[in-house]
Structure 1
Amino acid sequence: MTKPLLFLFLLLLAACGQAETAVTPPVVPANTATATTASVVPTGTAIPTLPPTGTAADAPAAPTAVPTDTPTPLPPTPTAVPLQPVDEIQLSPVVTEGLSLPLYVTHAGDGRLFVVQQEGLISIIQEGALLAEPFLDIRDRVGKDANEQGLLSLAFHPRYTQNGYFFVNYTNTAANTVVARFQVNAANPNLADPASEQILLTIEQPYANHNGGLVKFGPDGYLYIGMGDGGSQGDPQNRAQKGNDLLGKILRIDVDVAGEAPYGIPASNPFVADDGVRNEIWAVGLRNPWRFSFDRETGDLFLADVGQSQWEEVNFRPAGTPGGENYGWNRMEGSHCYQRDTCDTTGLVLPIFEYDHSQGCSVTGGYVYRGQQFPALRGNYFVADYCTGYIWRLFPMADGRWQSDSVLESGRIISSFGEDANGELYVVDHNGGVYQIQSVDD
């Protein structure tokens, strides 16, 4: 990517009708407006402030509801958890050549890593080497006219070894979101069949940015889909809060259905009894949730949401939460009222972690570490900033609050974290590399 294009991508990513039906979420347990927010104060070299991408003119009109006081997060508390020294962690190269704009890496449970490339390719890393032939090539149907479009993610079916199914999220040539299923070649495990595509969902996109893009299976076996608010600035159509619009949401669908229907609606989805809300919706009030993950040991959900002009955030929901959360956008950005002095926070879920744009411009959510290499970091959640390459860890306190620490100043354009079958973590550099988080002694 040339420097001008990369700069444009950074700015867009940072920035980045039907009758209105407001979503009334069900009552959910804590992490509401009184939840703790740990603000990052990274160590090491200070990072210059990046220019904001929105202006007051881009903001939605103030709500007519009677506002309440702005929530005041509790201050972070010192931790008794031993800290893995920063100078003992490094990014060790796995593949640094042969990849074009890699966005995502995942595994199929068999030692291979699969790298999603934005132009429409999925490649395989096997035994540390990039295979010459791509696993999947759908460049003929992927639209790439804008910097946040393209082939965005990949999720293997929980029974992939039996059925060979995997799912992708991409922008088609009409600039709309497509969630589709493909199947591996029965005779060659390193090759998928592009003609096997079954489209599950096509979602119209009003603008070229904030596509979300992640597909991921939860511990319940359902497919979760991250959808951005449709783009522009400030969610001008208030799509993230509309119940009849799939944008600005997390969706949850059942891909294991009999008959001709491309997918089913889980009976436990939170809005199945509400005629005014799309039944696919699991959570609302999100700007661009392009990275989220489930703790492989506990099932807890960590959801990173890219901010608008000032705040990046990570949200948390414990396993077993019934869904229906409202994460607040565009009423709030992080734990702060968006473009207004006060706002109604009733029923909103506030982040456990946020940082402002003096420290970055676009959050890249990661994973809870469950590997063996760093015992002191087990149970810690890793998160980074796309623009600055800073990597932090979050860890829970005994009282249920969260603390954060700077782990590494990577110098990379971090488009994604990855996790292998053993729980070890990887970082994807959008400029063309995959790296493993390792000890400096390795």
Structure 2
Amino acid sequence: MSIRRNLLTAAAVFAGLMSSGVASAQTLSTKLFVAGLARPIFITQAPGDDSRLFIIEKQGRIRIFNTETGTLNSDYFINLDSIITGGTSTSSEQGLLGLAFHPDYQNNGYFYVNYTAVAGGGDTVVRRYSRGADADHATTSGALTLLTINQPYSNHNGGMIAFGPNDGYLYIFTGDGGSGGDPGDRAQNISSSLLGKTLRIDVDGGTPYAIPPSNPFASGGGEPEIWNYGLRNPWRSTFDMANGNLYIADVGQNSREEMDFQPADAPGGENYGWRCMEGASCYTNSSGCTCNASNLVDPFFTYGHNSSGGYSITGGYVYRGCEIPELDGTYFFADYGTSNFWSATRNKNGTFNVQSRTSELRFSSDGGGTLSNIASFGQDLQGEIYICCQSLGRIYKIIPASGEVDCGPGPIPGDFNEDGLVNGADLGFFLSQWGQPGGAADLNLDGIVNGADAGILLSNWTG
């Protein structure tokens, strides 16, 4: 383990010692990153391409922000408005809701979207599209539908999709189908419903997909796509890019919001409790399931429906960037209704320490205004974190309170400490990142730190 990694770990432990709700010294801020968008609800990058950030506009469009020119492309990457229902207002839970690029996007050009369709009156569709003749445009030719899931109501559609950094499988997060109180008990139904679940499929193993053999119900006992269940509306759920741990932000009913956690080595099949439980409390309409049953997985954090908490949780990301190294491994999340922010650090014993970040993150330091309607977070290939404000049509970036830092690989690829040399000090850091899915040591930006990156480092070796 490198000196840098030891320092990062020590910093994370120090942050974790702070109790929930107690603000730390002002170490963070936000800056306006891009404006002029129509209901932005997600931002991400494609593997191997750090010159473009892809932004979902909920009505059905994906736009590109060019990081080299600092401008928003006038053309859409893809416009799916004609086949999508909803997304035309901030209150709508329908629309274009999720985007994930295939890990081998640079070679196959595949990306996947999750949307509510005009056909079927709002059913959830997960579909594959392809990059077009140039990197700034996609094509609808050859599109492949992977899944269509009937939605009995217009709300609680989930929407997040993401590739697991450790296994390369596609994870699809579904809500319970809507209304209130899950009247069909769909989240607990593993035999005939894909709603209220995390699904896990292999998009490379068959057409349109195959079932991973390690799925908990691959051999029977439930729908084979199910990875975990008991979720109400996991609107934004994400993986830690460094280790594959899964953070699930599940929107509550009338009283509690919750954060769930699944470690990377979990076997699957976890039951997160809805509708037996809302947060860590028994839910009143819990007929058909047992409150506080031993097979239920408790959230690591909940908060109430009030001004100090909120009304609709928005999951974020674990920080793995280089601008704020003392926060490496810190998870950020927020509330859509109150624009409150928190961070969480995981201790060695598996417990979490949560602290408020509202005073640091709600107000932009560059005159970009007050952040509100936090619909989503995003993360770039370097591990930096962005915040989507739906009603403002803006995206902000989390930065150090002292101002944005230009970091990562120096002018010489592999010169991580930017001392003008590529030597043993840089090699120590590089080896500490070996096998990680991305980050500063991923010199060729293919989503993995491996021998190809070592070759780049060694080719610039100065000793």
Correspondence 1:299 to 2:237: no
Instruction: Give the drift of 1:87.
Output: 2.9
Correspondence 1:316 to 2:316: no
Equivalent residue for 1:250? 198
For 1:157 and 1:286, locate their aligned partners in 2 and report how far apart those are by CA, in whole Å. 25
Correspondence 1:366 to 2:316: yes
Alignment deviations for residues 148-177 of structure 1 (CA, whole Å, 9 cap, x no partner): 000001000000000000000000002100
Equivalent residue for 1:436? 397
Consecutive unaligned residues of structure 2, counting only runs of 5 or more, are 1-15, 363-370, 404-463
Matched ranges for 1:333-344 at <5 A: 333-339=278-284, 343-344=291-292
For 1:256 and 1:343, locate their aligned partners in 2 and report how far apart those are by CA, in whole Å. 39
Q: Secondary structure at the match of 2:106?
A: helix
Alignment deviations for residues 325-384 of structure 1 (CA, whole Å, 9 cap, x no partner): 000000000111111798242200010111111121101111111111112211111111
For 1:298 and 1:257, locate their aligned partners in 2 and report how far apart those are by CA, in whole Å. 23
- Would the alpha carbon gap of residues 400 and 165 (structure 1) be closer, same or farther in structure 2, given more than 3 Å must change? same
The answer to whether the Cα contact below 8 Å between 2:23 and 2:355 also exists between their aligned partners in 1 is no
**Highest relative contact order (Cα 8 Å, sep 6+), 1 or 2?**
1
Select the residue among 176, 182, 191 that pairs with 2:123: 176
Correspondence 1:233 to 2:180: yes
Q: Secondary structure at the match of 2:333?
A: strand
Equivalent residue for 2:455? none
Matched residue type, 1:400: G
Matched residue type, 2:298: L
Instruction: Give the drift of 1:91.
Output: 1.6
Select the residue among 130, 133, 137 that pairs with 2:75: 133
Computing the radius of gyration from Cα coordinates, the structure with the larger value is 2
The answer to whether the Cα contact below 8 Å between 2:215 and 2:227 also exists between their aligned partners in 1 is yes
Alignment deviations for residues 25-66 of structure 1 (CA, whole Å, 9 cap, x no partner): xxxxxxxxxxxxxxxxxxxxxxxxxxxxxxxxxxxxxxxxxx
Select the residue among 50, 58, 80 that pairs with 1:118: 58
The answer to whether the Cα contact below 8 Å between 2:23 and 2:356 also exists between their aligned partners in 1 is no
For 2:153 and 2:384, locate their aligned partners in 1 and report how far apart those are by CA, in whole Å. 36
Alignment deviations for residues 261-282 of structure 1 (CA, whole Å, 9 cap, x no partner): 31110111001122x4110011
For 2:160 and 2:142, locate their aligned partners in 1 and report how far apart those are by CA, in whole Å. 21
Matched residue type, 1:413: N
For 2:19 and 2:270, locate their aligned partners in 1 and report how far apart those are by CA, in whole Å. 31
Matched ranges for 1:70-109 at <5 A: 78-79=17-18, 85=24, 87-97=26-36, 99-109=37-47
Select the residue among 77, 94, 98 that pairs with 1:149: 94
Instruction: Give the drift of 1:196.
Output: 3.1
For 2:234 and 2:25, locate their aligned partners in 1 and report how far apart those are by CA, in whole Å. 28
Equivalent residue for 1:30? none
Q: Secondary structure at the match of 2:233?
A: coil
The answer to whether the Cα contact below 8 Å between 1:89 and 1:408 also exists between their aligned partners in 2 is no
Alignment deviations for residues 299-335 of structure 1 (CA, whole Å, 9 cap, x no partner): 1111110000011111111111110000000000011
For 1:232 and 1:84, locate their aligned partners in 2 and report how far apart those are by CA, in whole Å. 37
The answer to whether the Cα contact below 8 Å between 1:86 and 1:408 also exists between their aligned partners in 2 is no
Correspondence 1:417 to 2:402: no
- Would the alpha carbon gap of residues 165 and 344 (structure 1) be closer, same or farther in structure 2, given more than 3 Å must change? same
> Normalization by structure 2: what TM-score?
0.75
More deviation in 302-311 or 397-406? 397-406
Q: Secondary structure at the match of 1:376?
A: helix
The answer to whether the Cα contact below 8 Å between 1:183 and 1:193 also exists between their aligned partners in 2 is yes
Q: Secondary structure at the match of 1:346?
A: coil
For 2:109 and 2:348, locate their aligned partners in 1 and report how far apart those are by CA, in whole Å. 42
The answer to whether the Cα contact below 8 Å between 2:250 and 2:258 also exists between their aligned partners in 1 is yes
For 2:27 and 2:86, locate their aligned partners in 1 and report how far apart those are by CA, in whole Å. 39
The answer to whether the Cα contact below 8 Å between 2:18 and 2:355 also exists between their aligned partners in 1 is no
Correspondence 1:193 to 2:133: no
More deviation in 336-345 or 193-202? 336-345
Equivalent residue for 2:354? 404
The answer to whether the Cα contact below 8 Å between 2:181 and 2:285 also exists between their aligned partners in 1 is no
Matched residue type, 2:76: P
Matched residue type, 2:189: K
For 1:434 and 1:286, locate their aligned partners in 2 and report how far apart those are by CA, in whole Å. 28
- Percent of aligned pairs with the same residue? 47
For 2:72 and 2:249, locate their aligned partners in 1 and report how far apart those are by CA, in whole Å. 29
Correspondence 1:388 to 2:338: yes
Matched residue type, 2:174: M
Alignment deviations for residues 101-138 of structure 1 (CA, whole Å, 9 cap, x no partner): 11111111322110011110000011221110010101
Equivalent residue for 1:163? 108
The answer to whether the Cα contact below 8 Å between 1:158 and 1:221 also exists between their aligned partners in 2 is yes
Equivalent residue for 2:162? 216
Correspondence 1:349 to 2:297: yes
The answer to whether the Cα contact below 8 Å between 2:19 and 2:354 also exists between their aligned partners in 1 is no
Instruction: Give the drift of 1:241.
Output: 0.5
Matched residue type, 2:219: A
The answer to whether the Cα contact below 8 Å between 2:96 and 2:113 also exists between their aligned partners in 1 is yes
For 1:343 and 1:169, locate their aligned partners in 2 and report how far apart those are by CA, in whole Å. 32
Consecutive unaligned residues of structure 1, counting only runs of 5 or more, are 1-76
